[in-house]
Amino acid sequence: MKQWRVVLALAVLLAGVGWGARDWLGIPDIPADTLRARYGEGSRYVELLGAAVRVKESGQGEPLLLLHGFAASADTWEGWRRELEGQYRVIAVDVPPFGLTGPMASRPVQAADLQAFMDALVPALGLESEPFHLAGNSLGGYISWNYARRHPEKLRSLTLVDSAGYPLPPPLPVKLMKWPVTREISAHLSPYPIVAASVRDVYGEPANVTAAQIQRYADMMRREDSRPAVSELMRSLAFDGVGISDVRVPTLILWGAKDRWIPVEHAPRYQRDIAGSQLIVYDTLGHIPMEEDPPRTAADMRRFLQSLSPQGQSSQIQSSQVQASQAQPAQDRSSQAVLSPAPLSQALLPQDMASPLMPSHPLQSPPTPQQAAIEKKNP
Ordered by start, the domain boundaries in the chain are 2-306
The set of residues, in sequence order, having a beta carbon less than 8 Å from that of 65 and lying 6+ positions away, is 91, 92, 93, 122, 125, 127, 132, 133, 134, 135
8 A C-beta contact, residue 54 and residue 264: no
| pLDDT single digits (tens) 318-335 | 444 433 333 233 223 332
Q: How far apart are CA 32 and CA 53, in angstroms?
A: 12
Mean pLDDT value of segment 173-191: 66
Nearest alpha-carbon partner for 114 in 123, 129, 104, 124: 104
Q: How far apart are CA 136 and CA 64, in angstroms?
A: 11
| pLDDT single digits (tens) 98-147 | 999 999 886 678 888 999 999 999 999 999 999 999 999 999 999 999 99
| Residue 344 predicted with pLDDT over 50 | no
pLDDT above 90 covers a percentage of the chain that reads: 61
Ramachandran quadrant class, 225 (left: phi over 0; alpha: psi -120 to 50; beta: rest): left
Nearest alpha-carbon partner for 363 in 349, 352, 353: 353
Q: What is the mean pLDDT of the chain?
A: 80
Q: How far apart are CA 47 and CA 123, in angstroms?
A: 12
pLDDT number for residue 232: 83
| pLDDT single digits (tens) 237-265 | 889 999 999 999 999 999 999 999 999 99
Confidence of residue 21 (pLDDT cuts 50, 70, 90): low
The CA-CA-CA angle for residues 170, 171, 172, to 5°, reads 120
Q: How far apart are CA 4 and CA 10, in angstroms?
A: 10
Nearest alpha-carbon partner for 296 in 265, 332, 263: 332
**Strand order, beta sheet including 51-58:** 44-48, 51-58, 88-93, 62-67, 132-137, 155-161, 251-256, 278-282
| pLDDT single digits (tens) 151-177 | 999 999 999 999 999 998 877 666 666
Fold of 2-306: Rossmann fold (3.40.50)
Q: How far apart are CA 64 and CA 134, in angstroms?
A: 6
Nearest alpha-carbon partner for 140 in 266, 287, 305: 287
Q: Give Cα 88 distance to the centre of its chain.
A: 20
